[in-house]
Amino acid sequence: MPNLTFSVIIPTYKRLDRLKNCLTSVINQTYPKNQYEILVVEDGSRSGADELVNKLAQENPGLAIKYFWRENAGPAAARNIGIKNATGEICAFTDDDCTVPNDWLKRLADGFERHPQVVGVGGRMEPLENLAKTNPFAAYELYLTHKVFNLPPEREEFIAGVDSPIGATNNIAYRTKVLHEVGGFDESFKPYIPGEERNLKERICQLGYNKILYIPNKVTHHRDYTWKDFISYSYTAGIGHKIYIQQHGGKVNIFGLVRHLAVHTFLLPFKLIIEPNIITLLRYLNMVFATWAQIIPEKISEKTGVRI
């Protein structure tokens, strides 16, 4: 019998069908049902998630499945509601558009138990394998995981600190007491997820908890792999990066960003000659929209349709 108890925290917003798949995967864990709970926090939408959670709770009487609602304030605020109400020793995070393997909690617990000095344990996220072979946006996400974050399937577990490539809330678990100590997620990042995750990891490490374990365990992402989704994701990542810089005392250098954009635009044809594939183009476009997000006021971006 494992010793650790978990609170699985899942924020959700207008994605009922995907939430159902996510919850099914968390319910079907091999981990003892009395050793974990599921906390669903709906961030301002009225998608029917409350009815779904109540139904699943009735169908699984041995497992605590709880629903919370709050006014829309972004995923950081939603996750903080989960942390506040968590009873488990470990808070495990995933997203409503992800599914986790049935040994997800078991492997997270094993990581904490084998390495009691670590504050967090996490893995990687990938799209469906077949989709990555046919959809360029799914292929790009897989490229980010394997090449940019250097988390290919063959990479073995390792412990790192603030520079660890993991920490995204699709597949990470932290000790609950440390999350309380650090004050949870910074809610000013609404709704720009990439910034809030990096910020949380840095604040945890600054308290002296600078050991995070990577285990080669993946969750599967089921997002919309479309142009609209790609643009929106790139844009919000850029905003998150801008907020992160400002919170660390820096200023956005618009001239530098414009120069950066111009240089990469000039180099694009040469890069395409060297690597003539869709990944090269998507890397460039991701940079364009992320840079645009830091230069152009949000109101203008919303009117022009870049902010989706």
Give φ, ψ of 128 to 5 degrees. -60, 135
Question: Do residues 193 and 66 both lie within one domain?
Answer: yes
What's the chain's average pLDDT? 92
Question: Do residues 247 and 210 both lie within one domain?
Answer: no
State how many domains the chain has: 2
pLDDT at position 307, please? 45
Among the three residues 221, 239, 259, which one is the final residue of a domain in this structure? 221
CB 102 within 8 A of CB 30: yes
- Report whether pLDDT(193) > 90: no
CB-based burial of residue 23 (10 Å sphere; 0-12 exposed, 13-18 middle, 19+ buried)? buried
pLDDT at position 251, please? 84
Single pTM value for the model? 0.92
Count each helix (H run) and each strand (E run) in the chain, helices first: 12, 9
- Report whether pLDDT(303) > 90: no
- Per the structure, the complete domain to which residue 300 belongs is given by 227-304
- Report whether pLDDT(1) > 60: no
pLDDT at position 280, please? 96
**What is the pLDDT averaged over residues 127-132?**
94
> Does residue 139 form part of some domain?
no
Share of the chain above pLDDT 90, in %: 81
> Does residue 141 form part of some domain?
no
d(CA 12, CA 44): 9
Q: Which of 104, 141, 108 is nearest to 222 (CA)?
A: 141
